Amino acid sequence: MQYLENSSVKSEEFVFNRQGDIMGMIGNCGAKYRTDYLQELMKHIPIDQFGTCLNNKPIQNKRTSPRWQFDKSLVMKGYKIGLALENKKHVDYVTEKIYDVLLVGSIPIYAGASNIDEYVPKHSYIDVSDFPNPVALAKYLKQVVSNKTLFRSYKRWTFSDVEKIFHRLRCKESWLCQFCDHVINQPKRLVKDALLS
């Protein structure tokens, strides 16, 4: 979890110098928007796709293996960027995909929930919706994998950014938590006056 701490130049350098540039592990070809987008993107930039959908790289253990999560993480750690394309594009539909990529220190390419900034730090991922088409995204990805400054710009989030997001998500359903947040965020004079009256 070292990447959840303030990233040092040394750890950023390590990730930037990984052998692989871009990888994916998409196994469900039923999400047509995702499959079509990936297929077009792969025409314009090399992507090592380990999943069963558009597979071009073998992986030792399959999803049914008890070692799957471990093997998946090992493979992902060899790449600068990882695909995190959700099965559906719905508000609040956020799965493990983006977190898997972030936790190994890579930069996610994300497509899915339009409110993803509520779930992960801003500018910790590359949002597919920021690009008009796969060709434009591929052009930008080529810059990210070759430009250290641009690459590092995605590594500027901190553990406190993650804590704030976690707190906001935890409080989303709790009226008491929302009330406490409201009180805490008021100027101290207003809180004091309210308590004394």
Q: What is the CATH number of the domain that holds 135?
A: 3.40.50.11660
Q: What is the DSSP letter of 151?
A: H
Are both 102 and 187 inside the same structural domain?
Answer: no
- Alpha-carbon distance of 138 to 133, in angstroms, equals 9
- Alpha-carbon distance of 132 to 52, in angstroms, equals 27
Are both 142 and 185 inside the same structural domain?
Answer: no
For the beta sheet containing 126-127, the strands, ordered from the edge strand earlier in sequence to the opposite edge, are 48-49, 20-24, 79-85, 107-111, 126-127
Are both 74 and 144 inside the same structural domain?
Answer: yes
Are both 84 and 165 inside the same structural domain?
Answer: no
Tens digits of residue pLDDT in 146-193:
999 999 999 887 767 777 776 667 666 666 666 666 666 666 555 555
- Alpha-carbon distance of 79 to 21, in angstroms, equals 5
Q: Are 62 and 156 in contact (CB under 8 A)?
A: no
- Alpha-carbon distance of 36 to 172, in angstroms, equals 34
Are both 141 and 167 inside the same structural domain?
Answer: no
Q: Which domain holds residue 52?
A: 2-157
Q: How far apart are the first and last CA of the chain?
A: 47
pLDDT recorded at residue 44: 98
What are the tokens at 22?
């871009």
pLDDT recorded at residue 27: 86
Are both 42 and 124 inside the same structural domain?
Answer: yes
If you search the block for the tokens 């805490």, which residue do you land on? 184
Per-chain mean pLDDT for the chain: 82
- Total number of domains constituting the chain: 2
Are both 82 and 22 inside the same structural domain?
Answer: yes
Are both 181 and 137 inside the same structural domain?
Answer: no
Please say if the pLDDT value at position 9 is more than 50.
no
pLDDT recorded at residue 11: 63
pLDDT recorded at residue 192: 54
Mean pLDDT of 92-117: 91
What are the tokens at 196?
């004394």
Is 15 or 9 the better-scoring residue by pLDDT?
A: 15
Are both 122 and 168 inside the same structural domain?
Answer: no
Q: Are 44 and 58 in contact (CB under 8 A)?
A: no
Are both 108 and 187 inside the same structural domain?
Answer: no
Three-state secondary-structure class, residue 185: coil
Tens digits of residue pLDDT in 119-147:
888 889 999 999 999 999 999 999 999 99
Specify the range with the lowest mean pLDDT, choosing from 29-33, 44-48, 111-115.
29-33
- Alpha-carbon distance of 177 to 185, in angstroms, equals 12
Are both 64 and 104 inside the same structural domain?
Answer: yes
Share of the chain above pLDDT 70, in %: 71
Are both 76 and 37 inside the same structural domain?
Answer: yes
Is 3 or 56 the better-scoring residue by pLDDT?
A: 56
Please say if the pLDDT value at position 10 is more than 70.
no
